Structure formats: structure tokens, C-alpha cells
Amino acid sequence: MAGEAEEAAWARTTADKLRKVFHRTFWNGKYYISPGYQGKPDDRAQALAVVSGVLPKELYPVIRPFFSTWYHASPYMEKYVLEALCTMGYYQDALNRMKLRYRVMIESPLTTLWEGWGIGSEGFGGGTYNHAWSGGPLTILSQYIAGIETLEPAFRTFRVAPHPAHLNFIRTQVPLSGGRRIVFEMDKSAHSGTMYLRVPEGTSAQVVLPAEFQHWSVNGEPKNERQLTLSAGEWHFEMSEK
């Protein structure tokens, strides 16, 4: 972006070398750990290795069970564990872990998110019960489960690629400047479903339809493409297996 093409090429080459050296040095065949270290492995390190592109994609199935076994991440770092699972395509795993980890917070009469997994006598020194950095699951639900992700600055172009996993209903909004909002809703059963999308003025959307449905129509018109580019307006989708 700054026009320093030579320095950008150096950075890309250096980053690629670092990824390869890190993987070669710390991968033990199942997960990353320092050679000779006898302590417990860490879910935070594995998550960062995934989201930074260190772990080769063919090893995603190998690391997958790790995230249902080890739970060291704080609420802040848990966001990266959930992002790693979604990056690998394990959306149901991410929802399962999210429900497990944040259950006590959600069921609490308090309406805030906590710095640690517990508060008061269950917490740790200095931890508060109103901590914005514990809201990572909200961005995970919006970006990966509802699948709304910006492709150009300010959502001038954005993608909608929902991965609802076990969820049958999704409703969400993304506020933009000038009072505009992206509005998305999905309602599905085992064999059919509907979606609604409002694309605000000044934006366009790339919609990737859910893989479990083979037939769909948009505003009453049958479509064969699984990926559509839609201009500003309101769009209604009907989807079915047959």
C-alpha cells in the first residue's frame, strides 16, 4: 500500500521462512510444543499457529481433537481458538466449544462478560466482570457462523457465506455509516430453508449459498450458480434439497 514493493517482497519471503522453520522445529506429529518440554501443551499456541498460516492445511484433521481436549485459553485468547476452528472449517466444533466455555457467563444474572472464567472467589487477582475483550464469540458468530465478512473497506463489498452448523435460525445486523445496515436472516429445516438479505446503498454483496441445499431461487427466480453478486436492495432466497 505504501508503494514499497521491494520491502513487501522481503516481508513475504521472511514470513514464509518463519512459518516453515516454526513448523519444523515445534511440530511433534500431533501438536506444537517445544522440544524437551515435559509440561502440558497449550491451546493458545495451536490456535495462533492455525490463524497465522503456520499449520499446513493437510494437518487440520490431526490438530482438530486437540481443541476438545485442552482448555487453557482465557476469555480473551479463546477468540483465537474459535477462529482457528472456523478457519479449518470445523464450525460445529467452534459452537460446541463456545457453549461450553462461556456457559457460566451466559447463564449468570449479570449482563456483562468477564475478564476471567470466574468472578469473586472463582476469579483471579484484578479480574473484572465487565470486560469488552471477552466478546470475541460475537465477532466469530457474525463473521463465520452468519458468514458476513468485509471484502473492501467499509463493507463497500462484502461476503455472505453462512455456516450455521446445528443452528436452524440466524438473525443479525451489521451497522454501517450513515444509518445503513446489512440485515441477514436465515431460517432452515433439514430439507429446506429461506434467507433474507438487505444490501445497503453504496455496497454490493457476494453471496455463497449453503452447500447442503442443491436448489434455490432469488426473489422468485431460479438460480444455478452457488455464488452470486448482488447489488443494493432486498433479496429473498428459497432453498431446498430437491
Tens digits of per-residue pLDDT, 65-118? Answer: 999 999 999 999 999 999 999 999 999 999 999 999 999 999 999 999 999 999
Tens digits of per-residue pLDDT, 32-74? Answer: 999 999 999 999 999 999 999 999 999 999 999 999 999 999 9
Find all residues with CB under 8 Å of 40, minimum gap 6, and list them: 70, 72
The answer on 203 and 96 residing in a single domain is: no
What's the CA gap between 117 and 114, in Å, rounded? 7
What's the CA gap between 28 and 53, in Å, rounded? 17
Domain boundary among 114, 139, 164: 139
The answer on 192 and 104 residing in a single domain is: no
- Residues in the chain, how many? 242
Q: Which three cell numbers stand for residue 27?
A: 511440530
Element holding 62 (H helix, E strand): helix 60-63
Q: Residue 161 belongs to what domain range?
A: 146-240
Say which residue the cell 521462512 belongs to: 17
| pTM for the structure as a whole | 0.92
Whether 122 contacts 114, CB under 8 Å: no
Say which residue the cell 474459535 belongs to: 82
What's the CA gap between 215 and 223, in Å, rounded? 8
pLDDT interval class at 122 (50, 70, 90): confident
- CATH number, domain of 19, equals 1.50.10.10
pLDDT interval class at 125 (50, 70, 90): low
Say which residue the cell 473492501 belongs to: 152
